[in-house]
Structure 1
Amino acid sequence: MRRTDAHIWGAARSFEDLARLTADWLEGSLVSHPNGHHDGPDRETGPLAPVLCEANRGGFLTEGSQPGELAELHGQPWHQRAFVSGFAGPGLAGVLGEVARQAGLVTRVYLPAGRPMLDGGAVDVTRWGERINTGVGHFLKPRAVRQIFLSCRADAVQDVVMAWQVTLVDPEWGRDDLLWPTVRRALAAHQELNQKEGAQ
């Protein structure tokens, strides 16, 4: 990792700091991410950066994502399901899960101890020909969470370990216009709920 980026990530003291830095990395203010990405986000993440930044600054610390896509690779069909996964407090995790379910998305929401709120287990998100390449949505154990934020302060990473884990997946291969507006609706609904509670 670039030395200046390593210093910035190493200074993060909380879940909120790590989410803010993830947004900065998505926007290009930081080149490196502790999870081994040292040249910025993947190219396919570029168009998703605005909504992912909103998510991180809204309290949903994103850990992985991809757009929906129907393409061809080496003469075989390459299909992707749009997904986003990450960490959130219980209030936002609940809103994300509920709004996503209402929209027809597949959800995986885990409490910190690993117990799923409803369904659990991985969901297939990439397919090459007839072969499934990638699944997401399984519970990440504390050791795996710490691997995502290598060299970050232990207290900040422990905040992430103790957060709820949320994965949202569009069940339709290739579709890319349902998940992201749904994430924005959930963020707005959570913000509105917080404002109402603050006004009481």
Structure 2
Amino acid sequence: MKLPWMSRADRRRWKSARTVADLGELMALWLEGEIASRPGYQPRFGPDEETEHLVASLAALCRAGYITTCSQPGSAGTGANGLWWEQRAAVELVVSNDPALLRRLLAAARAAGMLVRVNDHRRGGVQDEPVIVTTCDGEPITGFGGRISRADMAIQWPELNRDLYRRVAHGVYVSIVAPEYGTAGERLWVLLDQLTGLRLAPDPEDDPWADEPLWSTHGALEVEHGECTLCGAPIHHRGPYCNTACEEADADHDAERTDRDRC
């Protein structure tokens, strides 16, 4: 039986962290199973089974200065309830007091066509809207990004030294989401592994994604049924769209198609 509280030894380890690097190392050790509990998570439990294959990638991010707080793989299939579930590969992380690290992360993610949400808790800062990452039979279930309240922050980071908590609580939280639902979105982890140096960037002829146009360029391709006209994202239901511009672009395309049918 697992006790419903963090051990004293683990509590001391988290309390002893003084820097973001200390925190990143402890988070990596928890991911790798070397520490039984982490702040803000069910005591004496490790990462979910679905993220086991992501442990090396997540630990490398933590050690590189990007402290991961939540993640999920890209998948699609029938769930235990018999309904169709789809997930986008996604990760939420905090970058604290290092503008260079933040710029590098955002530049790499945006260049690869990822969906990026930024929540800057320094003096109010930028607060982006969340993006849907999980659907059930086309209905939105969960999202990544969006404003984190002060109360949520306290729940997410208990057991930390006061000064370190202040740095983390006032850091920049970034959500990076693959635009594709399903396993195609697992390319997110390839991108992040290259960012942290866990894997080398392949030569173009060896890159499985080299022949794929960036998601942001799909709007220039011939629109197929079930795709967003503006960004090319798959649409399996009435909404939600990526943003208002996508919805308006898709509505315009439908209107043009109706006019052609009348002719």
Query: Structures share a fold, TM > 0.5?
Result: yes
Runs of at least 4 residues off by over 4 Å: none
**Structure 2: tracts of 5 or more residues without a match:** 1-5, 198-263
**Structure 1: tracts of 5 or more residues without a match:** 189-200
The equivalent of 1:42 in structure 2 is 48
Work out whether 1:84 is the aligned partner of 2:94: no
Q: 2:188 aligns with which of 152, 156, 179?
A: 179
> For the Cα contact (< 8 Å) 1:93–1:165, is it kept in 2?
no
State how 1:27-176 maps to structure 2 within 5 Å.
Answer: 27-38=32-43, 39-73=45-79, 74-88=81-95, 89-113=98-122, 114-116=124-126, 120-174=128-182, 175-176=184-185
Cα shift at 1:161: 1.7
Cα shift readout 1:131-187 (whole Å, capped 9, x = no counterpart):
211011113244422321112211111111232111100011113431011112333
Cα shift at 1:18: 1.4
> For the Cα contact (< 8 Å) 2:178–2:186, is it kept in 1?
no
Q: Residue 36 of structure 1 aligns to which amino acid in structure 2?
A: Y
SS where residue 76 of structure 2 aligns?
A: strand
Cα shift readout 1:61-107 (whole Å, capped 9, x = no counterpart):
00100000002111110111100111113211111111111101000
> For the Cα contact (< 8 Å) 2:119–2:145, is it kept in 1?
no
Looking at structure 1, the residues matched to 131 and 42 of structure 2 have their Cα atoms a distance apart, in angstroms, of 24
Which is worse superposed, 85-94 or 57-66?
A: 85-94
Give TM-score scaled by structure 1 length: 0.86
> For the Cα contact (< 8 Å) 2:28–2:62, is it kept in 1?
yes
Cα shift at 1:31: 1.1
Alignment CA distance shift 1:145-1:169 (3 Å): same
SS where residue 171 of structure 1 aligns?
A: strand
Count how many residue pairs are aligned between Structure 1 and Structure 2: 186
Cα shift readout 1:9-66 (whole Å, capped 9, x = no counterpart):
1211222211111000000001111112321111112110001010000000001000
> For the Cα contact (< 8 Å) 1:23–1:53, is it kept in 2?
yes
Looking at structure 1, the residues matched to 148 and 196 of structure 2 have their Cα atoms a distance apart, in angstroms, of 23
**Higher alpha-carbon Rg:** 2
Looking at structure 2, the residues matched to 67 and 115 of structure 1 have their Cα atoms a distance apart, in angstroms, of 29
Alignment CA distance shift 1:173-1:51 (3 Å): same
Looking at structure 1, the residues matched to 120 and 39 of structure 2 have their Cα atoms a distance apart, in angstroms, of 24
> For the Cα contact (< 8 Å) 2:87–2:135, is it kept in 1?
yes
Q: 1:5 aligns with which of 6, 10, 15?
A: 10
How much is the aligned-residue C-alpha RMSD, in angstroms?
1.6
Q: Residue 85 of structure 1 aligns to which amino acid in structure 2?
A: E
Which structure has more RCO (C-alpha within 8 Å, separation ≥ 6)?
Answer: 1
Percent of residue pairs identical: 33
